[in-house]
Structure 1
Amino acid sequence: MRITLSQWSIVSRRGFSTSPKGSQKKVIELAYTRHEPADTPAESRPPIIVMHGLFGSQRNNRTFTKELSRPVYTVDLRNHGASPHSPRHDYTSMSEDLEHFISNEAPIADSKPILIGHSMGAKVAMTCALRSPRAYSGIVPLDNAPVDAALKSDFGNYVRAMLEIEAANPPLTKQSDADKILEKYESNVAIRQFLLTNLTKDPTDKKMLKWRIPLNTLAKSLDYMADFPFKDPDSARFEGPTLVVRGGASRYVADETLPVFGRFFPRFELVDIPGAGHWVVSEAFEETTKAVVEWTKRVVDQDG
């Protein structure tokens, strides 16, 4: 059963870069959108922060947010969407960005939000929870595990395809031409359309197309995306509610990773989405949303 909300108050903000005083670390001010259901008081339930995966953006989660029946923040992680670019792209830096965002956004700073993340965003959620175990009401990693594991070769192929599009001579002016190049690397139309959401008009020449993400930075960071910052479950543990959602046809959460989940996240529950691959939300929207909504009401709200 899907939850339908008749009215939503939406506030968006673009990001900019900032460097904290006395620190050489560069924290990114994340672009975000706040979605607040009109019939749910903001203070009544923990807000949710939703994070996208590699090559995604907050726009991928707009439909998902309407089903959660509570205040939801969708964010663009660094080097994605409308958030600023940085030469550093790893889970520690992305977690620092999110922690900075939470501490400076009053409605979230005064609460213990729930973190939901897909793929790259799942590892950000798990990293944040292990860095500050008492700061969150719960986490939902969507199809990724707290282990070092090589990315599927697909992501390297996507980078090669996108670099080929960027290097086209003459420069491309139509998305259909870019799609023809992508088709050589990826047969799935839905995945190609997802990747093409990053292709926009060049601000200096509106006729030309340009990637809004820093391809070279992300290409160099693929190894970091396969990494996980915490290696020893005895050194960090999040004992809050954790819902692990994996696609039944995906290889990102293998059975052998489940004991590791149990050590890092002893209260974790596992939901398998039969037939779905890595893109569980888009491939099985109804099933994934139902699992998250039911778990949130049954576990997180009861804890609060």
Structure 2
Amino acid sequence: MLVQMLSRNGSLTSKALRHCPCHSKHQIVSQAMLAVRRYSDQRAVSLSYDVHEPKQSTASGSHPILFLHGLYGSRKNWESLGKRMAFELSRTIVTIDARNHGQSSHSSTMSYEAMANDVLTLMELDLMIDRCDLVGHSMGGRTAMALAMSHPEALNKLVVVDVSHIPVKLSDDVTQAADYVQIMRDAKLDNSVSLSQTKRDLGTQLQTAIPNVGVRNFLLTNLVQEEGRLRWRVNLDALEANMEHLRRLHLPPGASFTGDTLFVGGANSTYLRPEDYPEIKTFFPNASFASIEGAGHWVHSEKPAEFLNAILPFLRDSS
């Protein structure tokens, strides 16, 4: 039903991109603009991504929808919902690995401004689009907000999933997230043991440190085996060095993104709180809010049907 045109490194080939139905004439970035971006985006890193096309061609002028994952995640976190949304909306969906995650390049720098710049550069130099709808969860949501503030012209609609710019109230989930780097470092990896067996063994060993089986399995998706060697895909050094920066997003006083914005939170999460809505509206005046009952921080994986019900109407007829 859905087609993925991927190169060997998991990215859409340049030739395929130029024939992507999302590239109407007014969306293709001019060569002059590309030249300017090449000069200003020297610090951008190469991002790995998948493109999910609907069976039916996208409507002329419709913007592609880009999806950004959270800390310790990858583009695969959005794969199932991305395919579903490509079908439901007849839109091109692009799921992206952030720097230091998945198959994207590593860098010692991991500010939200740098990650927003990565996405902007991907849009212009790889996808060859100048505008999109953007959906981001947690770290990806803050990256999306940073891009909305720095380059509002690049975004049509914005969906932020279970996060805001406001520092998160400390909770067990929040404090443990910073501990995961050391837990992963301390894990004993035996290259003589298969990847599947190692994941089963670590799943048992980490029960005390990480009681939530869903979180354990989520972190273990980062364990890979290449050329007989087990390793973590995420750049643990960079995550550890930048963890404090990732806890908050500084938005310039007086700045705002006036495009249509939807904040979707889990009712059981502390990351997006109703008492923060008024301050959020000062930066996103056209924001609306949805809370998913029974969901925690991983809203889209815990309650996928309810999540789709919240965002599909918002993203329909986006042009």
Common topology (TM > 0.5): yes
Structure 1 letter corresponding to 2:112: Y
State how far apart, in whole Å, the 1-side matches of 2:295 and 2:226 are.
35
Residue 209 (1) aligns with residue 230 (2) = yes
Considering only aligned residues, what root-mean-square deviation do their CA atoms show, in Å?
2.2
For 1:289, which of 298, 308, 311 is the aligned residue? Answer: 308
Task: Say which of 290, 307, 311 aligns to 1:271.
Answer: 290
- Between Structure 1 and Structure 2, the one with more strand by share is 1
Q: Which of 38, 49, 58 is the aligned partner of 1:32?
A: 49
* Residues 1:39 and 1:169: Cα distance change in structure 2 (over 3 Å): closer
What amino acid is the match of 2:206?
L
Query: Does residue 260 of the first structure (1) align with residue 279 of the second (2)?
Result: yes
Secondary structure of the equivalent of 2:4?
strand
Tell me the distance in 2 between the aligned counterparts of 1:133 and 1:124.
13
Q: 1:66 offset after TM fit, Å?
A: 2.0
Q: Which amino acid aligns with 2:301?
A: S
- Candidates 141, 156, 163, aligned match of 2:178: 156
For the Cα contact (< 8 Å) 1:161–1:181, is it kept in 2?
Answer: no
The number of residues matched between the two structures is 282
Task: Identify if the C-alpha distance between structure 1 residues 296 and 125 changes in structure 2 by more than 3 Å, giving closer, same or farther.
Answer: same
- How does 1:145-224 map onto structure 2 within 5 Å? 145-149=164-168, 152-165=174-187, 168=188, 173=193, 174-203=198-227, 206=228, 208-224=229-245
Match runs of 1:1-304 below 5 Å: 7-13=1-7, 14=9, 25-41=42-58, 43-68=60-85, 69=89, 70-109=91-130, 112-149=131-168, 152-165=174-187, 168=188, 173=193, 174-203=198-227, 206=228, 208-232=229-253, 234=254, 236-297=255-316, 301=318, 304=319
For the 8 Å contact 2:169–2:270, the answer to whether it is kept is no
Give the conservation status (yes or no) of the 8 Å contact 2:134–2:144: yes
Cα distance, 1:15 vs structure 2 = 8.0
Which structure has greater helix proportion?
Answer: 2
Gaps of 5+ in 1: 1-6
Question: Normalized against structure 2, the TM-score is what?
Answer: 0.82
Deviations 1:65-87 (A, max 9, x none): 12322101001010000101001
Tell me the distance in 2 between the aligned counterparts of 1:131 and 1:148: 20
SS in 1 for 2:6: strand
TM-score, L = length of structure 1? 0.86
Deviates more, 1:170-179 or 1:48-57: 170-179
